């Protein structure tokens, strides 16, 4: 007999680890991006001012587009590898 309750609790504890980017919300908050990228919220805030970062601002809210964030991170990683070579 399997313990489905324990599995549900594990998923609820850290949904970012168990679901692909497609299953995540389309728009992320800065704390969500910080947790996802394992950086501080201050770092995410600094990223929001970089050209090309997928940020959306309204009067009191900042949201980051999840799929475009994934692309931005991949592009940045490739650019850093090319600069190192």
Query: Shortest CA distance to 38 belongs to which of 64, 60, 17?
Result: 17
Give me the pLDDT at residue 43, please: 97
Residue 2: how many other CB atoms lie within 10 Å: 6
Q: Kindly tell me if the per-residue pLDDT of 36 is higher than 80.
A: yes
Across the chain, mean pLDDT equals 81
The model's pLDDT over 5-15, given as tens digits with 9 standing for 90+, comes to 555 555 555 55
Q: How far apart are CA 52 and CA 72, in angstroms?
A: 8
Q: Does the pTM of the predicted model rise above 0.85? A: no
Give me the pLDDT at residue 14, please: 58
Task: Return the percentage of the chain with pLDDT > 90, whole number.
Answer: 55
Domains identified in the chain and CATH numbers: 22-84 (1.10.10)
Residues 6+ apart with CB under 8 A from 70: 21
């Amino acid at each position: 007999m399997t313990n489905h309750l324990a599995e549900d609790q594990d998923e609820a504890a850290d949904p970012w680890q168990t679901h692909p980017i497609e299953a995540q919300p389309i728009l992320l908050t800065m704390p969500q991006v910080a947790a996802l990228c394992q950086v501080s919220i201050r770092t995410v805030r600094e990223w929001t001012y970089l050209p090309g970062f997928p940020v959306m601002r309204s009067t009191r809210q900042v949201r980051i587009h999840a799929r475009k964030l994934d692309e931005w991170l991949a592009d940045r990683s490739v650019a850093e590898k090319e600069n190192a070579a």
